[in-house]
Amino acid sequence: MTDPLPTVRLRPKADARALRHGFPWVYADELVTDRRTKALQPGAIARLEDATRQPLGTVTVNPNSKLIARILDRDPEARIDHRWVAARMAQAMDLRARLYETPFYRLVHAEADGLPGVVIDRYGDAAVIQPNAAWADAMIGDLAAALADVAGVAIIVKNGTGRARGLEGLPEEMSILAGALDGPVPVEMNGATYMADLLGGQKTGLFFDQRDNHAFAARLARGGSVLDVFSHVGGFSLATLAAGAARAIAVDGSASALDLAARGAAASGVGERFATRKGDAFAVMEALQGEGERFDLVICDPPAFAPSKPALAAGLRAYERVARLAAQLVSPGGYLVLCSCSHAADLAQFRNASARGIGRGARRAQLLHTGFAGPDHPQLPQLAESGYLKALFFRLDG
């Protein structure tokens, strides 16, 4: 017989109704933080009750975090173990197997897949786990074992880096939990081959969330010239070249990312039409403007300029500046794609900042399409933060 779970309780003014309706988080000022609660180890499993002692579910608790509790299961009697983890992962796997014919996708998207704070990206026979919550870090062995059982992968990497782990009070670390890697992993998407560095690249190695937006941009690029700014490993540029773009330039501040992009271009058979330019994106765009360069399609996919509410105002100014500089590089009648992965900037705010920037660049635009993350990045309807990615596709006049 297992020991009973500790109990944590909401304060009287906390919104228990939102939790009952599916909101997955409890903030520190909503929970009674008595001596027993403060003594719980980060990642501990507990039973959550409302202020009247009515059960709300099974949660994981981290007394060191402002996000003090996350709902794991609506059943207050749930047993959070290997079997439970494997069942959630199998549900996630079933969805991806229906969506994709090749084994390259986000397999687990945190709260939206019922595994709070857990991100897993699959690269064929390899997978990367990001345990961004204390409970996931504590149960990394169960997560890895379930991943091997459910997905059949032989190589498993733990990527314990990033801002989210810092907010949880977790250390930064990178390790291989199973198998071995001897270099970047080739990934086939949208007719191109990308090279993903699972140990030293950004995030887990690739940005699967942009797959559908890469494909839409590729439709606009056939026969034209492309500028891919903040390119990482060539996400947009390689897809457009595979679709028949005449030439593409990838701009990034990371030499290693551009090297991977060039290797991907060679593997895709488009190396002769591909070039790279290393440097600060803003400075490179200003330089290209001075050189009189124009492109039929310009894409800007920057890092999160507004990762939190305190950074929102500065972030929106940065997005406006990106839009202004990029718009001036688009040929008459050409296309501009502007992306944001900022949680704090919602779609309307990002669209308005982009429109202001285009106007300041003395261009008039039509908004053709608004893209979001692909279906392997499902949204939890009650959690706005799960719908972070926005991609705006414009056509600019002369």
User: DSSP string covering 273-333, please?
Assistant: GEEEEES-HHHHHHHHHHTT--EEEEEE----S-SSGGGHHHHHHHHHHHHHHHHTTEEEE
- Amino acid identity of 67? L
Q: How many CB atoms lie within 10 A of CB 174?
A: 13
Q: What average pLDDT does this structure show over 356-360?
A: 98
Per-residue pLDDT of 54-73, as tens digits, reads: 999 999 999 999 999 999 99
| Annotated catalytic residue, options 215, 323, 341, 344 | 341
pLDDT, tens digit (0-9, with 9 covering 90-100), for 213-242: 999 999 999 999 999 999 999 999 999 999
Structure tokens of 76?
Answer: 């207050």
pLDDT band at 4 (very low <50, low <70, confident <90, very high): confident
Domain extent listing, the chain: 7-73, 82-178, 189-396
Q: Once rounded to an integer, what is the mean pLDDT over residues 143-166?
A: 95
Q: How confident is the model at residue 3 (pLDDT cuts 50, 70, 90)?
A: low
Q: Give CA 8 to chain center in angstroms.
A: 31
Torsion of CA 113, 116, 118, 121, to 10 degrees: 20
Is pLDDT at 2 greater than 70 in this prediction? no
pLDDT digit string (tens) for 67-90? 999 999 999 999 999 999 999 999
User: Average pLDDT for residues 297-315, to the nearest whole number?
Assistant: 95
- 281, with CB counted inside 10 A (0-12, 13-18, 19+), is buried
Q: Inform me whether the pLDDT recorded for 1 exceeds 70.
A: no
What are 155's two structure tokens?
A: 């190589």
Quick one: average pLDDT of 38-58? 97
Looking at the domain covering 82-178, what would its CATH class be? alpha beta
CATH H superfamily, domain 189-396: Vaccinia Virus protein VP39 (3.40.50.150)
Is the Cα dihedral 11, 15, 16, 19 positive or negative? Answer: negative
- Is the pLDDT assigned to residue 256 strictly greater than 60? yes
Query: In sequence order, what DSSP letters do the residues of 166-190 get, joined into one string?
Result: HHTTPPPEEEEEES---SPEEEEET
Amino acid identity, position 36: R
Topology given in CATH for the domain delimited by 7-73:
2.30.130
300 is known as an active-site residue: no
DSSP 305: S
pLDDT at 31: 97
Mean pLDDT of all residues in 147-170: 95
* pLDDT tens track for 338-347: 999 998 999 9
Whole-number Å distance between alpha carbons of 391 and 371 = 5
Distance CA 377, CA 81 (A): 24
The pLDDT score that the predictor gives to residue 385 is 82
